[in-house]
Amino acid sequence: MSTLLIHGGRRLEGRVDVEGNKNAALPLMAACLLTDEPCALTNVPRIADVEVMARLLLNLGANVEGIGTTTLRIHCATVTSHEPDRALVGRLRGSVLLLGPLLARCGAAHVAPPGGDFPARRSIRTHIAALMALGARVIDSGAGHHLEAPNGLTPASIYLDEASVTGTETALLAAAAAPGLSEIRHAACEPHVVELCAFLETMGVDITGAGTHTIRIEGVGRRRGGHKRLEGDYIEAGSWAVVGAITGGAVDIGGTRPVDMEVVAATLRKLNVTCTQHGDVFRVEPRRLVGAGRITTGLWPGFPSDLVSLVTVLATQAEGATLVHDWLYELRLFALEQMSGMGADLFLCDPHRIIVTGPRRLRGRVLDSRDIRSGMALIAAALAADGPSRVEPLETVERGYSQLVERLESLGADVSRV
């Protein structure tokens, strides 16, 4: 286990460039299992979660080249097992995305309970219901998720009981292998869902409605090899924007798309952050922070829940009160209670709402990174605090942020891995 030692109080300035979206990389890698032809993905984020998915594919018989780089070449000529390695599955919630492709290639899939952030609090019932609608049947195995489709997957009309991103992706991956027309209603609209649709189209699957709540998929019996360059990760970009704003620095974030950054900029401007977009560069500049009144997460194009911890930390340095309401997930804000020991004025109303009153001078302390996003938020708090802080385990945050220590150092942060 590694610890990030941070001496706060420095103004961070400079430029960082984001890599591809983590939440696009994992379903695209899973989609490579749908074909026995070679696939290529570029601008892949060099993060731990991507490496775990690559190891899962290797375990299933795939040939994966480029692990640890931004270009992956994946060839699943044969699939040697329908049961991914339990230990690896236990480290990655995204491993649930393997269910549909395994059903398509093997007629069966047996996946242990997925791990990742707060696994017990995030159900996959929407995923299972979609697969059952497409012809899979659940086998009672006593542990994990065991499904079979010995006669193949069949097209279906599906209504998702929630607009789950991974639930929509699970349905898309399975429908792509069900010859004929399927329809997914109440589908998620996030940019990474659209990226999966674009990748499936390069594999010969006809898709309409990507980016809307109704997606139609013309599945094919044989998928060809696909290729895709991943778009820049707007969640990572938003995280670096908060790092710049909370330390009073000017930071340029390259590799972003204006259409993705609008939702980030709108919320940062509520806190009086100066932010502009020039081409693929998103810039934040120093300005006196002001309480936003209320920030609420929402389904796309609402403010993403993955950034709620970071803007909550930013609000501790804003003049006035901000109510942060994450109605999508319970307990995501609980990790921020540690900041009370740093001097932050926080009132946790319930598992979904927190009131932040600022500005408050923060003091360094030992901090526990319990999940990827709150871990990055606590790093941002430590960068703005007086004195040393220790954030651990660092590996939790590195699941979602590539070359984290090196990038912080490039911006002028006084940090080191212990």
Phi, psi of 378 (to 5 degrees): -70, -35
Single residue among 229, 262, 289 that ends a domain in this structure: 229
- Distance (Å, rounded) from C-alpha 278 to C-alpha 236? 18
* Domain of residue 223, residue span: 22-229
Which residue type, as a one-letter code, is found at position 110?
A: H
Query: Which of 192 and 144 is assigned the larger pLDDT?
Result: 192
Q: Is the domain of 218 the same as that of 261?
A: no
Q: Is the domain of 180 the same as that of 268?
A: no
Which residue type, as a one-letter code, is found at position 151?
A: N
| The pLDDT of residue 211 | 97
| The pLDDT of residue 120 | 43
**Alpha-helical runs (H) found in 176-307:** 191-202, 234-246, 258-270
389 has a pLDDT exceeding 80: yes
254, HSE (Cβ side, Cα atoms, 13 Å): 6
| The pLDDT of residue 117 | 55
| The pLDDT of residue 351 | 87
CB atoms within 10 A of CB 327: 12
Q: Is the domain of 263 the same as that of 393?
A: yes
Q: Average pLDDT of the chain?
A: 95
Place of tokens 């049961």: 83
Q: Is the domain of 286 the same as that of 221?
A: no
Domain CATH number, residue 199: 3.65.10.10
- Distance (Å, rounded) from C-alpha 1 to C-alpha 163? 36
Which residues have C-beta within 8 Å of that of residue 263, sequence separation ≥ 6?
234, 300, 301, 302, 303, 304
Q: Is the domain of 158 the same as that of 295?
A: no
| The pLDDT of residue 414 | 98
Tell me the pLDDT band of 116, cut-offs 50, 70 and 90.
Answer: low
Single residue among 229, 252, 279 that ends a domain in this structure: 229
| The pLDDT of residue 159 | 98
Beta bridge partners of 147: 109, 138
Q: Catalytic: 117? A: yes
Q: What's the whole-number mean pLDDT along residues 21-27?
A: 96
Tell me the pLDDT band of 119, cut-offs 50, 70 and 90.
Answer: very low
Tell me the pLDDT band of 141, cut-offs 50, 70 and 90.
Answer: low
Q: Is the domain of 110 the same as that of 124?
A: yes
Edge-to-edge strands, sheet with 39-42: 63-65, 71-75, 39-42, 227-229
Q: Is the domain of 177 the same as that of 324?
A: no
What is the percent of the chain where pLDDT is above 70?
Answer: 98
Contact call for residues 325 and 295 (beta carbons, < 8 A): yes
What is the percent of the chain where pLDDT is above 90?
Answer: 91
Which residues have C-beta within 8 Å of that of residue 87, sequence separation ≥ 6?
none
pLDDT tens string 291-341? 999 999 999 999 999 999 999 999 999 999 999 999 887 767 877 889 999
Q: What's the whole-number mean pLDDT along residues 268-295?
A: 97
Q: Is the domain of 136 the same as that of 257?
A: no
Q: Is the domain of 299 the same as that of 195?
A: no
- Distance (Å, rounded) from C-alpha 411 to C-alpha 397? 18
Q: Which two tokens stand for residue 143?
A: 């542990």
- Distance (Å, rounded) from C-alpha 59 to C-alpha 72? 16
Q: Is the domain of 212 the same as that of 253?
A: no
121 has a pLDDT exceeding 60: no
| The pLDDT of residue 249 | 96
| The pLDDT of residue 39 | 98
Give me the catalytic one of 117, 233, 260, 371.
117
Single residue among 173, 197, 229 that ends a domain in this structure: 229
Phi, psi of 77 (to 5 degrees): -60, -40
Looking at residue 118, the DSSP 8-state letter turns out to be: S
Q: Is the domain of 314 the same as that of 211?
A: no
Phi, psi of 292 (to 5 degrees): -90, -5
Domain count, the chain: 2
Identify the three-state secondary structure at position 406: helix
115 has a pLDDT exceeding 60: yes
| The pLDDT of residue 331 | 66
CB atoms within 10 A of CB 417: 12
Q: Is the domain of 155 the same as that of 44?
A: yes
Nearest to 18 by CA among 373, 393, 400: 400
- Distance (Å, rounded) from C-alpha 173 to C-alpha 322? 40
pLDDT tens string 220-263? 999 999 999 999 999 999 999 999 999 999 999 999 999 999 99
Helices (H), strands (E): how many in the chain? Answer: 13, 23
